[in-house]
């Protein structure tokens, strides 16, 4: 094993688009939605194919860190990076880079998302190792993993590959030409037909010090705050943490950087970002279009997802519908409106609801 390689699994997200099953007390990365293990447990198992447990860190706020420790008892307690509060991932990645570099000077590190699903774990581990290897010759680059599109997805961001680098590594490595926002259906179809376009996973592999240097270059106020945090005990930098810019790492850093590489891969990857995605994955797994995890009776419905663990659900004549029933909330949506669950959660927040 390479002693300068580390992975930080980001587990602090709230998973609002999978409400009402995903809640602040137990977000989607801790749920067993698609298998007998949670998304976090699956992610950890894939990373373990490439690195030992002591090289893997989990980053989350205190309540979610406790959930992670419960699900991953093998993980050393010292490898929990506690965010003072749950915020966007830009500050979190800055803090993780700071702490990893301070503990392991010269470290290379990867940021992995706990709510993404990969079914080809060995291939994922190979791509991750290749990304670390690429930093040996391109130390001032960010490296990501891109997914070969299998459909014209409008819910994912894309990236466009430039020329291939001749690095003689286990997997091919390309220069990233540009990043593309979530496209409309026509544009997504064009991207899918062009071999140069990949889904953007958001995975990032880099030297920890390089990320800190990028903060100093592009976000100097945040870099100064991180420098102050470096000299403090975790319990004493809550005030500084609250001053960091609350934005994602793409806006803070990635969009301003040209030196980015990508490894194209087929990982059986999906961002579990909506009930529509959950339904599509389970349909393929189970070989049925009516996915039912409930006591259920039906007359003539098709292509639906029905979930409940506490009462009978009766349906008739439905199509393309998701029903998620919990003891205190019931969600009924058209699959085409699955992304709008976030709007419902925003309304609950505005009402100061206890159902979040």
Q: Are residues 254 and 342 in the same domain?
A: no
Percent of the chain with pLDDT over 70: 99
Q: Are residues 317 and 178 in the same domain?
A: no
* Cα radius of gyration rounded to whole Å, the chain: 21
111 within domain boundaries = yes
Of 332 and 1, the structure prediction assigns the larger pLDDT to 332
Domain C-terminal end among 271, 290, 314: 271
* Residue 336 binned pLDDT confidence (cut-offs 50, 70, 90): very high
Question: Are 164 and 144 a contacting pair, CB within 8 Å?
Answer: no
Q: Is the pLDDT of residue 163 over 70?
A: yes
- List beta partners, residue 112: 9
Q: Which two tokens stand for residue 223?
A: 């870099």
Q: Is the pLDDT of residue 234 over 70?
A: no
Instruction: Say if residue 161 is exposed, middle or buried (CB neighbours under 10 Å; 0-12, 13-18, 19+).
Output: buried
Q: Are residues 205 and 57 in the same domain?
A: yes
Question: Are 165 and 261 a contacting pair, CB within 8 Å?
Answer: yes
Q: Is the pLDDT of residue 1 over 60?
A: no
* pLDDT score for 230: 79
CA distances to 38, 68, 266, 268, 310 from 45, rounded to whole Å, are: 11, 13, 18, 15, 31
Q: Are residues 324 and 198 in the same domain?
A: no
Domain C-terminal end among 271, 302, 317: 271
Residue-wise pLDDT for 76-129, tens only, equals 999 999 888 877 899 999 999 999 999 999 999 999 999 999 999 999 999 999
Question: Are 59 and 11 a contacting pair, CB within 8 Å?
Answer: yes
Q: Are residues 118 and 44 in the same domain?
A: yes
Of 72 and 15, the structure prediction assigns the larger pLDDT to 72
Share the mean pLDDT of the chain.
Answer: 94
Question: How far apart are alpha carbons 290 and 110 in whole angstroms?
Answer: 38
pTM assigned to the model:
0.93
Q: For 220-234, 313-327, 338-352, which range has the lowest pLDDT when averaged over its residues?
A: 220-234
Residues 61-81, mean pLDDT to the nearest whole number: 93
Q: Which of 12, 66, 26 is nearest to 356 (CA)?
A: 26
Question: Are 86 and 207 a contacting pair, CB within 8 Å?
Answer: no
How many domains, the chain? 2
Q: Are residues 265 and 280 in the same domain?
A: no
CATH number of the domain at 156, please: 3.90.550.10
Residue-wise pLDDT for 340-353, tens only, equals 999 999 999 999 99
Chain center to CA of 151: 20
* pLDDT score for 2: 61
Q: Running DSSP on this structure, what letter comes out for residue 51?
A: S
Residue-wise pLDDT for 16-29, tens only, equals 999 999 999 999 99
First to last CA, the chain: 42
Q: Is 194 left (phi over 0), alpha (psi -120 to 50) or beta?
A: beta
For 331, the domain range is 275-350
What HEC string does 159-183 produce?
A: EEEEEEECCCCCCCEEEEEEEECCC
Residue-wise pLDDT for 131-162, tens only, equals 999 999 999 999 999 999 999 988 899 999 99
Residues in the chain: 356
- Give the helix/strand (H/E) hosting 48: helix 39-48
Question: How far apart are alpha carbons 203 and 119 in whole angstroms?
Answer: 16
* pLDDT score for 95: 93
């Amino acid at each position: 094993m390479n002693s300068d390689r580390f992975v930080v699994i980001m587990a602090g997200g709230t998973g609002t688009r999978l409400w009402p099953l995903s809640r602040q007390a137990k977000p989607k990365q801790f749920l067993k939605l698609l298998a007998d293990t949670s998304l976090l447990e699956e992610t950890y198992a894939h990373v373990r194919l490439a690195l030992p447990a002591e090289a893997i860190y989990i980053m989350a706020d205190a309540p979610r860190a406790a959930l992670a420790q419960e699900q991953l008892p093998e993980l050393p307690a010292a490898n929990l990076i506690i965010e003072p509060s749950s915020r966007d991932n830009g500050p979190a990645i800055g803090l993780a880079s700071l702490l990893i570099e301070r503990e392991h000077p010269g470290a290379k590190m990867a940021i992995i998302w706990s709510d993404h699903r990969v079914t080809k774990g060995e291939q994922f581990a190979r791509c991750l190792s290749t990304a670390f290897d690429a930093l040996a010759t391109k130390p001032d680059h960010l490296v990501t993993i891109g997914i070969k599109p299998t459909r014209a997805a409008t819910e994912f961001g894309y990236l466009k590959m430039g020329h291939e680098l001749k690095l003689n590594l286990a997997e091919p490595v390309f220069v990233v030409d540009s990043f593309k926002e979530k496209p409309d259906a026509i544009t997504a179809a064009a991207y899918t037909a062009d071999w140069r376009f990949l889904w953007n996973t958001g995975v990032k592999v880099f030297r920890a010090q390089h990320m800190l240097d990028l903060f100093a270059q592009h976000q100097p106020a945040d870099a100064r705050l991180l420098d102050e945090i470096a000299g403090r005990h975790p319990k004493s930098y809550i005030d500084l943490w609250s001053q960091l810019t609350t934005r994602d790492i793409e806006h803070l850093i990635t969009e301003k950087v040209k030196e980015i590489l990508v490894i194209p891969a087929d990982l059986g990857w999906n961002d579990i970002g909506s009930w529509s995605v959950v339904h599509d994955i389970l349909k393929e797994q189970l070989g049925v279009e009516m996915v039912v995890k409930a006591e259920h009776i039906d007359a003539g419905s098709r292509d639906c997802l029905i979930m409940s663990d506490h009462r009978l659900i009766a349906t008739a004549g439905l199509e393309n519908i998701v029903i998620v029933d919990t003891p205190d909330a019931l969600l009924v949506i058209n699959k085409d409106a699955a992304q709008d669950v976030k709007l419902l959660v925003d309304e609950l927040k505005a009402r100061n609801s206890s159902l979040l």
